[in-house]
Amino acid sequence: MRDDAELTTESRPPSETEFPSAEASREAVVDDATPPRREFKARGSFVERCDGCRLPVLNCLCPYRVMATSDAQVWLLTHSYEHHKPTNTGRLIANVLPQTQTFTWYRTEPEARLLELLADRRYVPFVVFPDDQPDYQHRVVDERAVISAKQDGFIPVFILIDGTWRQARRIFRKSPYLDGLPVLPLHTDRLTRYRLRKPASAAHLCTAEVAAELLRKTGDVDAADVLDDYFDAFNQSYAESRFYRKIEKPSAAMQRLLDRRALETTDA
């Protein structure tokens, strides 16, 4: 949920060894389950983009892609418009956490796979949404419920509604299959680092930031750190590309991802 694009809480010449080339490191980061892309006609549509990360090739994100594991899972319930926005950060979660599921929201016909997973007793799903309305206060829980689900041997799931605030509230209200699920609000003092749009408040976090905070608060610290770094790399890469500036030296977050990727390659 975003003011105009992303999820909020309440309510992105050195040597090849230092800075791998995008061409040498590029990987496809979309799979068969990714909804088909339509022609991108907004500002920046003329820019040459990487097919893997969808960022301008000037500052391709693929060299920094690192996967992580977590006890909790993320299921993205995504408005159809979001699939076509290169600034969408929900897909960053799927890039880092391979068990992430992405579902397109349809008001009259929910995806069968989502309904199947909701009925699977291995999972304990939580709808991440603000606790600001009285009619569902009886469903509101905190992070302790997630930790308890882990301790009882279940897989906790964060259902993140990915769309504008208006879209997200409609999805929340118009999806009967969510009505019986606990509602998990995110309360945090962290401020957004998202540079691609100006939020109404610095307290409004984007989708990837919300996921990282929830993972951290419920014990998946390593996954949260990787997702935070990947988001920062995305944030900087996209912001610099808007001004046609090539990033000549990796940031601290980028370097941590490069080091981790190199270590994983060595271990393999």
- Tell me which residue has tokens 């206060």: 137
Mean pLDDT over each residue of the chain, to the nearest integer: 85
pLDDT cut 90: percent of the chain above it = 68
The answer to whether residue 256 sits within a structural domain is yes
Q: What local confidence, expressed as pLDDT, does residue 45 receive?
A: 57
Which 3 state secondary structure label does DSSP give 239? helix
Q: Which of 36, 87, 32, 84 is nearest to 241 (CA)?
A: 87
The answer to whether residue 55 sits within a structural domain is yes
- The pTM score is 0.82
Q: Which of 250, 263, 260 is nearest to 20 (CA)?
A: 250
Which 3 state secondary structure label does DSSP give 38? coil
Q: What local confidence, expressed as pLDDT, does residue 19 receive?
A: 38
Alpha helices (H) along 59-206: 90-96, 112-118, 143-151, 165-173
The answer to whether residue 219 sits within a structural domain is yes
29-56: pLDDT as tens digits: 333 345 544 554 555 556 899 999 999 9
Residue range 125-134: average pLDDT? 96
Q: Does the pLDDT of residue 71 top 50, yes or no?
A: yes
User: Which of 75 and 81 is assigned the larger pLDDT?
Assistant: 75
Q: What local confidence, expressed as pLDDT, does residue 72 receive?
A: 98
Q: Does the pLDDT of residue 20 top 60, yes or no?
A: no
The answer to whether residue 165 sits within a structural domain is yes
Residue range 222-245: average pLDDT? 95
Q: Does the pLDDT of residue 147 top 80, yes or no?
A: yes
The answer to whether residue 119 sits within a structural domain is yes
Give how many domains the chain has, as a whole number.
1
Residue range 56-70: average pLDDT? 96
Secondary element (H or E) of residue 265: helix 252-267
168-206: pLDDT as tens digits: 999 999 999 999 999 999 999 888 888 676 665 666 789
The answer to whether residue 79 sits within a structural domain is yes
Q: What local confidence, expressed as pLDDT, does residue 165 receive?
A: 82
The answer to whether residue 69 sits within a structural domain is yes
253 pLDDT tier (thresholds 50, 70, 90): very high
Domain of residue 138: give its range. Answer: 22-30+42-267
Task: Tell me the angle at which helices 252-267 and 221-242 cross, rounded to the nearest 10 degrees.
Answer: 120
Residue range 84-93: average pLDDT? 91
The answer to whether residue 10 sits within a structural domain is no
202-227: pLDDT as tens digits: 667 899 999 999 999 999 999 999 99
The dihedral built from the CA positions of residue 109, 96, 55 and 169, taken in this order, carries a sign that is positive
Q: What local confidence, expressed as pLDDT, does residue 31 receive?
A: 39
Percent of the chain as helix, strand, coil, to the nearest 5: 40, 10, 50
Q: What local confidence, expressed as pLDDT, does residue 12 receive?
A: 35
